[in-house]
Amino acid sequence: MALLSIVLPAYNEEQNIANTAEVLDKLLQENSIDYEMIFVSDGSKDATFAEIQKAAERNPRIKGAEFSRNFGKEAGIFAGLELASGDAVIVMDCDLQHPPEAIPGMWEKWKNGAEIVEGIKKSRGRESLGYKLSAGLFYKIMSKLIKMDMNASSDFKLLDRKVVQVMLELPERNTFFRALTFWAGFRTETVEYEVQERLYGESKWSFWSLMRYAISNATSFSTLPLQLVTVMGMVSILFSVILAVQTLVKYILGDAVEGFTTVILLILIIGGFIMLSLGVIGHYIARIYEEVKGRPKYIISKITDNVQESVLGSWRK
C-alpha cells in the first residue's frame, strides 16, 4: 500500500499542533490513506516541539524534529522532505489554512499519474487590506523576476518520490521551494482551494518580512536584478548625452547653461543608480559567499523517539 507523507513546518504554533494532528488523522483514516505526519519546529520560542512530542506519543505515525534556531520556512520544508519516507509527499501549513479536504483529491490525481499536484488559491480568504496588498506586491515581483505566474501558487503541493529526490539533490543552500517545483517540470496537475481561517494564533508574515522574502528568493532564483544594473547604466548614459547636447546647443547659441541645478540633478541621478547597482551586485556577492561556505541549510537539535538519531546535525551536501 502506498504511503503518503505530510510535511508541516511550524514556527510558534503550539496552539495548532494537537488540532492539526487530530484533523489530519481523522481525514486520512476516513479516506483509507496510509500516512505519516512530519512536524518540523523551526526554532520555535514557545512549546511547539513539546506539543509535537505529545502528539507523537499519542500517534506513532507522527514524527517531529526541532531546529537549533530559526532557519526559516524553506529550511523547514526541506528538512521535512529529508525525513519523509512516503511514496508521495504533501507540504502544507501547520495552521490548516491549506484545507485538509483538498488532500484526497491530490492523492487521487497522484494515483492517476500526476507527479506534482499544485494547490492553487481561489482566494486569499479573510486578510487585512495591508496584508493582501503586500502579499499581492510580493507575488507580482516574483512573477516578473522568475517569469512564472506565482499569483495563485502556494507551498501547498504534492510531490512524487522522484520529484522529492530531485529537490533533495539540488546543491544550493538558498532555495525557493515554491518556484523550484515549476522549474523541475514533471507531469503537473492542479487542485483549487479556498484559504481557510486560522483557528489559533496570527500569521508570522508582515509587509517587511514578505519583502525580505521576495528579495531573498528573487536573487536565489533569478539574475534579472543584475540585468537591471545594465539598464540603469544605459539610462545614465542617455541622460548624460541629452545634457551634453543641450549644453553644447546653448553654448553655440550664446546662451550657456546657468547655475548648477542641472549638474546637481544629474549627479544625484547617476549617484543613485551607482549606489543601487552596487547594492544589487553586493547582494549577489553575498549569495555567492553563502553558497561557497557550504554551511548546512539547517541543524536539527531534537527529534521525537521514532526518528533515527542519525538526522541530528544533518545537512545536504
In DSSP notation, 240-251 reads HHHHHHHHHHHH
Question: Please, are residues 4 and 86 in contact by the beta-carbon 8 Å criterion?
Answer: yes
Q: Which residues pair with 303 in a beta bridge?
A: 65
Q: Which long-range contacts (CB under 8 A, 24 or more apart) does 257-260 make?
A: none
Give the closest residue to 15 by CA, choosing from 209, 202, 205: 202
CA distance 17 to 52: 6
**Is residue 103 a contact partner of residue 111, using CB atoms and an 8 Å limit?**
no
Question: Pairing state of beta strands 62-67 and 3-10?
Answer: unpaired
Give yes or no for a contact between 1 and 34, defined as CB atoms under 8 angstroms apart: yes
Q: Above 80 in pLDDT, residue 40?
A: yes
Taking alpha carbons only, the member of 97, 96, 56, 93 closest to residue 76 is 93
Lowest-pLDDT choice from 7-21, 175-189, 261-275: 261-275
**pLDDT tens column, 208-253:** 666 666 666 666 666 667 777 777 777 777 777 777 777 777 767 7
More confident residue, 303 or 220: 303
Measured CA angle at 75 (ends 71, 81), to 5 deg: 150
Residue 127 has pLDDT above 90, yes or no: no
Query: Torsion-angle region of residue 292: left (phi > 0), alpha (psi -120 to 50) or beta?
Result: alpha
Q: Which of 254, 303, 309 is closest to 80 using CA atoms?
A: 303
Q: From the CA atom positions of the chain, what is the Rg in Å?
A: 24
Residue 74 to residues 7, 51, 222, 261, Cα–Cα distance (Å): 12, 22, 17, 49
Residues 150-176: pLDDT tens digits? 665 678 899 999 999 998 888 887 787
Contacts of 55 (CB under 8 A, 6+ apart): 17, 18, 21, 39, 62, 64
**Quick one: DSSP state of residue 31?**
T
What are φ and ψ of residue 56, in 5° steps? Answer: -70, -30
Rounded to the nearest 5 degrees, what angle is found at the Cα of 262, between the Cα atoms of 257 and 266?
Answer: 140
Closest to 76 in 3D by CA, of 55, 52, 100, 56: 52
pLDDT at 301 > cutoff 90: no
CA distance 50 to 83: 19
Higher local confidence (pLDDT), 204 or 91: 91
Q: How many Cβ atoms are within 10 Å of 49's Cβ, its own excluded?
A: 24
pLDDT at residue 312 in the model = 60
pLDDT band at 115 (very low <50, low <70, confident <90, very high): very high
Q: Return the C-alpha cell found at 128.
A: 487585512
Say which residues have a Cβ less than 8 Å from residue 184's Cβ, sequence separation at least 6: 116, 163, 166, 167
